[in-house]
Amino acid sequence: MMEHVDLEGSVRTTVEELATALRVARVSVWLYNADRTEIACVGLVDHGSYTDRRIVLTANDYPRYFTAIRESRLVNAGDARHDPRTAEFTTDYLTPLGITSMLDVALLVAGEPIGVLCAEHVGPARGWSEAEADLMTSAAALLAIAFAIEHRRSLQEQLRQSQKMEAVGLLAGGIAHDVNNVLNIVLGEADLLEDERHDPKAVREGLANIREAAKKAAGLTHKLLTFSRQRAVALTPTDLNGVLEDFERMARRVAGETITVALRRSSAPLPVLADSTLLEQVLLNLVVNARQAMPNGGELTITASAVAPGVLAPDTGADETKAYACVMISDTGVGMDADVVARIWEPFFTTRELGSGLGLSIVHGAVRQMRGFATVESTLGKGTTFALFFPLTDAYAATDAAEVRERPSYRSSAGRILLAEDDAQVRRVLALVLRRAGMTVTEAQNGEEALNLFVRHPVGYDLLVSDVAMPVLDGPSAYRRMRTMRPGFSALFLTGYAPETMRVETLGRDGAPVKWLSKPVAREVLLASVGELLGVRAPAQS
């Protein structure tokens, strides 16, 4: 009866099959509230029709029934209207519905009732056989397991999100400092450019500094967005040394003033396939764990090194034919005994009064997602060392600059662009970039305005360049309506929030000429994408 994976499907299947097997008019499932003063219906089949309409019964109105379920766990009432356990239902429940007999079984988790499975017979009163009672009891046990699993899954997700938000809070504190530094660079260079606007070299240097600061700010924003949402892991060639270099300042900030942090990178590159932001979250969790293990201060050492094939013991899970990159996080804290170490990766296991027990299980799961494994060694009173191992690869991550250089250059003097962007300053910059590349640009401040312009002259534009989220009418919605008039019309969407890309990708599933770019967008990347959609490539440069 529990063939459905989802809980709602399991409840429906159970009550429908029980109604057929027991030949009764009604079977229902009820759940208690937190203090067991109410039960609410979560699934009911009534004369062949299923509903999940919420019906609530209270212990104040039906005290004998609530007591009977709590104490005996099974109410076998062949004559429900005269049985002292169920007679109090007669006036407002049994008689109006024609119910004469009831067979109710408690749903038990860890010996405590969480709800009730109820079979109700309409027609002449009937007795319930032992086999029928056993069937109801077995079904109640299966339902109780399903509810317990769902409750645990929900609790685990809540705790995981809580753990994630704790990490986001720590990260945000460090990022706020870095963002202020970025803004200081931008504002300072802008002031200097006003003073030195007649010195071409100073202008070029100042603009280059502003550009680099903006790229850094974009990276910080991306990091916050990644930490604060659920997302698929994207494994890309990554130099582990580079990740540690970026992480060093955050590690010192999170560790606090009483802990000395030493970071030792490998002298040789350590190329691995990893998700750099997820890896930073793993490291952040381990630094937080180390800080809590050193309440009176101490030393935290983070070391990166290469491990030759065959060096790691087989019981670690290592492939003896592969070389590994290793990151070791060692503290001089309180340490752990062997029993604690043996359970350290278990979800919900914690030795701290206020701990969720999810930090290290998340670390373990994240490392496995990146095709690595983790080990831990600890001694009471002497400290703990976590080691993360990732298979080395020969691939290296290309820098953003290299990616830009490798992109083909596109230009078009005939491109007619319909530009929709609600931020006036962003719209101004995009329009200037496109116009200086020789394109004709018509500006709109939201999707509705862009759609109205398009309706007036559907063949007057070659490409829509649009923000995704805008007031009045968003970009994807406006584009869908445009395509009803011109099915082959192309669009380039710009977004500052990654989940919005799912909407854009949906637009392109039917073959529509659609691309998207993440904000902020470099000029070369924007023009390359626009040219690609227009199908115009610039002549080779001599």
What is the pLDDT confidence band of residue 208, given thresholds at 50, 70 and 90?
confident
Q: What letter does residue 445 receive in the DSSP assignment?
A: S
Which residue has better confidence, 192 or 228? Answer: 192
The tens digit of pLDDT for each residue in 356-377 reads: 334 577 778 788 888 889 999 9
Q: Compute the Cα dihedral for 219, 223, 229, 231 and give only its sign.
A: positive
Q: Has residue 505 got a pLDDT over 60?
A: yes
Which residue has better confidence, 315 or 273? Answer: 273
The tens digit of pLDDT for each residue in 442-495 reads: 999 999 999 999 999 999 999 999 998 888 999 999 999 999 999 889 999 988
pLDDT, mean of residues 317-340: 89
Q: What letter does residue 52 receive in the DSSP assignment?
A: -
| Local structure of 116: helix, strand or coil | strand
| pLDDT reported for residue 499 | 53
pLDDT, mean of residues 378-388: 92
Q: Has residue 281 got a pLDDT over 70?
A: yes
The tens digit of pLDDT for each residue in 213-223 reads: 777 676 666 65
| pLDDT reported for residue 204 | 75
Q: Which residue has the tokens 């709800």?
A: 115
What is the pLDDT confidence band of residue 74, given thresholds at 50, 70 and 90?
very high
Give the distance from CA 431 to its chain's centroid. Answer: 35
What is the pLDDT confidence band of residue 518, given thresholds at 50, 70 and 90?
confident
| pLDDT reported for residue 190 | 73
d(CA 287, CA 426): 39
| pLDDT reported for residue 284 | 84
pLDDT, mean of residues 257-276: 90
DSSP states of 271-305: EEEE-HHHHHHHHHHHHHHHHHH-TT-EEEEEEEE
Q: Which residues contact 405 (CB under 8 A, 6 or more apart)?
A: none
Mapping DSSP onto H, E and C, the string for 345-363 reads CCCCCCCCCCCCCCHHHHH
Surface-to-core class of residue 77, CB atoms within 10 Å of its CB (0-12 exposed, 13-18 middle, 19+ buried): buried
| pLDDT reported for residue 22 | 93
| pLDDT reported for residue 223 | 57
Which amino acid appears at position 347 of this protein? P
**Cis-peptide, bond into residue 124, ω within 30° of zero:** no
Q: Has residue 19 got a pLDDT over 50?
A: yes
| Local structure of 452: helix, strand or coil | helix
